[in-house]
């Protein structure tokens, strides 16, 4: 890589992590990619010709010396002003609640009008996107398909295509590159299904950080997936291909506790189980600093429900989320009922624990986001001094 005069002048400043000093490709390279914090969300891909995702890794093909860039401003792994985002989307400063800001927590599953498919759990995510595309509330949706075990971003417009993307791909996916594509193609009511880091990045995009006067929010609905961690694609693929023929995989599942297994389903109905302790070493380094389990900046968040594998946990956060969920229920696409108190308690505790682990790790490593993570958890009393 050819070093330019601008590069040299910037050395030493980017390490401060101050968004106001350097907000371009070199900052992203130093603070995120070289620091092994990237979780491959895809937000920096497709904005310019320089960034690419190749088999789970985000790489910069050529150096760019611009002082600012959307790649840097949209990255969820550079320090994020959570107060600012919370004010913008929820009308109040960030208070560190383990589940973020929300209206209600329910349980749900796809109803009869959706039909059956190999959903991860209750099919709530697919049901809502299917309904919203059919009704014209969304003009396209950003989903994640797979080729073998490799997650593939998809931009779909046909409601039936939602069913080609069902179920979880447990390695990091450059899903948001499909959002960049959809925006470039002129879509204006885009549905996004995304993990918490991807949702945070989408919130950064929607906050118009570069103050573009012509900016209009291109999203119609953000569905966040609960996430505790994601796997590094390449070692995960090797690990699995040493045990089974990847072409025969029909679904991968990690049932909630007390199960401590990854389940891999194969054509012909066979299932193999792998203890999670063998999988954990393959988790991305960047996930260990992640303080968000429930995708706090989404319109609605969906996860599995402990003890009921055919149901989902459903968090409704915003008015546009509530409106679509209510209509989907009324029109026979979604079944909703109350969340049992015990499940809610477990959910809060799991989300709080994730915040605590992230803070401890960030403090140990002395990384930039430690300060902000500490602020989050102090406020929510997740940890004490």
Ligand X SMILES: Cc1cc2nc3c(=O)[nH]c(=O)nc-3n(C[C@H](O)[C@H](O)[C@H](O)COP(=O)(O)OP(=O)(O)OC[C@H]3O[C@@H](n4cnc5c(N)ncnc54)[C@H](O)[C@@H]3O)c2cc1C
Nearer to ligand X, 175 or 177 (CB): 175
Of 167, 177, 180, 301, the residue at the interface with ligand X (CB under 6 A) is 167
Binding mask 193-232 for ligand X (x = CB under 6 A): xxx-----------------------------xxxx-x--
Pick 101 or 228: Cβ nearer ligand X: 228
Give the footprint of ligand SF4 on this chain (CB under 6 A): 28, 32-33, 38-44, 58, 74-77, 172, 195-197, 227, 229-230, 284, 286-287, 290
In the list ligand X, ligand SF4, none, the entry touching 226 (Cβ below 5 to 8 angstroms by class) is ligand X
Cβ at position 370, least distance to ligand X in Å: 23
Q: Residue 180 CB, nearest distance to ligand SF4 (Å)?
A: 11
Interface with ligand X in residues 312-341 (CB under 6 A) = 312
Residue 193: CB minimum distance to ligand X, A: 4
Return the number of the residue (122 or 352) whose C-beta is nearest ligand X.
122
Is 28 a binder of ligand X (CB under 6 A)?
A: no
Among 25, 58, 120, 318, binds ligand X (CB under 6 A): 120
SS (H, E, C) the chain: CCCCHHHHHHCCCHHHCCCCCCECHHHHHHHHHCCCCCCCCCCCCCCCCCEEEECCEEEECCCCCCCECHHHHCCCCCCCCHHHHHHHHHCCCCCCCCCCCCCEEEEEEECHHHCCCCCCCCCHHHHHHHHHHHCCCCCEEEEEEEECCEEEEEEECCHHHHHHCCCCCCECCCCHHHHHHHHHCCCCCEEEEECHHHHHHHHHHHCCCCCCCCCCCCEEEEEEECCCCCECHHHHHHHHHCCCCHHHEEEEECCCCCCCEEEEEECCCCEEEEEHHHHHHHECHHHHHCCCCCCCCCCEEEEECCCCCCCEEEEECCHHHHHHHHHHHHCCCEEEEECCHHHHHHHHHHHHHHHHHHHHHHHHHCCCCHHHHHHHHHHHCCCCC
Q: Which listed option, ligand X, ligand SF4, none, makes contact with residue 300 (CB within 5 to 8 Å by class)?
A: none
Site string for ligand X, 344-373 (x = CB under 6 A): ------------------------------
219 binds, among ligand SF4, ligand X, none (CB under 5 to 8 A by kind): none
Distance CA 41, CA 197 (A): 7
Measured from the CB atom, the residue of 108 and 168 that comes closer to ligand SF4 is: 168
User: Residue 62: how many CB atoms within 10 A of its CB?
Assistant: 11
Nearest to 350 by CA among 280, 309, 291: 291
32 binds, among ligand X, ligand SF4, none (CB under 5 to 8 A by kind): ligand SF4
Choose from ligand SF4, ligand X, none: what does 279 bind? Cβ within 5-8 Å by kind. none
- Neighbour tally for 194: CB within 10 Å: 28
In this complex, which beta carbon is closest to ligand SF4, that of residue 55 or of residue 213?
55
24's contact among ligand SF4, ligand X, none, with CB below 5 to 8 A by partner kind, is none
**What is the number of residues in the chain?**
385
Q: How far apart are CA 340 and CA 334, in angstroms?
A: 18
Number of chain positions touching ligand X (CB under 6 A): 31
Question: Measured from the CB atom, is 72 or 226 closer to ligand X?
Answer: 226
Nearest distance, CB of residue 112 and ligand SF4, angstroms:
32
* Contact residues for ligand X, defined by CB under 6 A: 119-126, 143-144, 151, 165-170, 173, 175, 193-195, 225-228, 230, 302-304, 312
């Amino acid at each position: 890589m050819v070093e330019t005069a601008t590069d040299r002048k910037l050395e030493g400043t980017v390490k401060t992590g101050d968004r106001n000093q350097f907000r371009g490709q070199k900052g992203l390279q130093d603070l995120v990619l070289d620091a092994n914090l990237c979780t491959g969300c895809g937000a920096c891909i497709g904005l310019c010709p320089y960034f690419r995702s190749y088999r789970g890794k985000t790489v910069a093909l050529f150096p760019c010396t611009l002082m600012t860039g959307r790649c840097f401003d949209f990255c969820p792994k550079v320090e994020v002003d959570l107060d600012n985002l919370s004010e913008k989307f929820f009308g109040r400063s960030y208070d560190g609640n383990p589940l973020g800001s929300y209206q209600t927590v329910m349980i749900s599953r796809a109803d009869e009008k959706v039909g059956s498919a190999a959903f991860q759990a209750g099919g709530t995510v697919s049901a809502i996107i299917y309904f919203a595309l059919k009704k014209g509330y969304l003009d396209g949706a950003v989903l994640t398909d797979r080729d073998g075990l490799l997650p593939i971003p998809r931009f779909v417009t046909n409601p039936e295509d939602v069913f080609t993307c069902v179920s979880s791909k447990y390695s990091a996916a450059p899903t948001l590159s499909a959002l960049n594509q959809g925006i470039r193609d002129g879509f204006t009511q885009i549905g996004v299904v995304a993990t918490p880091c991807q949702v945070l990045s989408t919130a950064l995009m929607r906050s118009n950080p570069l103050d573009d006067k012509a900016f209009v929010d291109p999203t119609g609905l953000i569905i966040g997936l609960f996430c505790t961690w994601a796997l590094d694609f390449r070692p995960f693929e090797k690990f699995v291909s040493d045990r089974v023929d990847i072409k025969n995989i029909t679904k991968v599942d990690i049932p909630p506790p007390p199960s401590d297994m990854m389940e891999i389903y194969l054509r012909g109905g066979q299932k193999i189980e792998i203890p999670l302790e063998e999988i954990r070493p393959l988790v991305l380094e960047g996930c260990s600093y992640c303080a968000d389990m429930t995708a706090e900046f989404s319109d609605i968040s969906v996860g599995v429900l402990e003890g009921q594998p055919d149901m989902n946990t459903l968090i409704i956060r915003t008015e546009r989320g509530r409106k679509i969920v209510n209509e989907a229920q009324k029109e026979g696409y979604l079944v909703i009922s109350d969340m049992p108190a015990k499940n809610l308690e477990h959910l809060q505790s799991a989300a709080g624990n994730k915040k605590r682990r992230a803070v401890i790790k960030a403090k140990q490593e002395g990384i930039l986001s430690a300060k902000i993570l500490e602020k989050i958890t102090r406020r929510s009393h997740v940890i004490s001094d």
